[in-house]
Amino acid sequence: MLQVYPECYADTALIQFLITNPLDVVHIYGIPNVAKELKEANDFNKPGRFIGVVDKDKRTPPYLLTFDTVHETNKVCFKRKNSLPHYLIVIDKAIESFLLWNAAQVSINIIDYGFPDEVKTLGKVLKTSAIGSNPDYLRLLADLHAKQAPGILTLERLLNDLITT
């Protein structure tokens, strides 16, 4: 069994875009709740692989501090819980800055997709529950992927490695 727990709607849409079976993705609202799901998987020895996907916040729940960093590149930090199949992917700094950075790396102007290019304003737009079905957001993700934005490709490779091993 595989479960991927993204913490926000925009993260959920991004992960569903990148993996072949979007049914493995369970939206969990907020970092504390992602931490709770991962802790319960650990405490109750649930079988399977569990992957939390969170933004790099100022306040990190204590349980997530028990994960060790494996590597960090292209605004994506990969962590693991001991030798368990429990993983944490931390997007630096938040999904909005991650998307803006990736867009800049491949010369995409997100204004062309109807999104603001200011971090705080973009963050508010991405927080809506309908972002996952927004055709402009899905087109932005597809274009970032097609143009090989480094953070998007890093995230995709990481997820594929975790899913296929």
Q: Work out the pLDDT band at 13, boundaries 50, 70, 90.
A: very high
pLDDT averaged over the chain? 92
State the pLDDT at residue 73.
96
State the pLDDT at residue 89.
96
What is the domain range of residue 143? 2-164
How many C-alpha atoms does 133 have within 13 Å on its Cβ side? 2
State the pLDDT at residue 26.
83
State the pLDDT at residue 152.
97
b (16+ CB within 10 A) / e for 102-121: bbebeebebeebebeeeeee
Averaged pLDDT for residues 122-149: 96
Per-residue pLDDT of 43-87, as tens digits, reads 888 888 899 999 987 788 999 999 999 999 999 999 999 878 899
Q: How many domains does the chain have?
A: 1
Q: Work out the pLDDT band at 23, boundaries 50, 70, 90.
A: low
Averaged pLDDT for residues 92-104: 95
pLDDT higher than threshold 80 for residue 22:
no
Averaged pLDDT for residues 16-34: 85
Averaged pLDDT for residues 137-141: 97
Distance in angstroms (rounded) separating the CA atoms of residues 143 and 112: 12
State the pLDDT at residue 121.
95
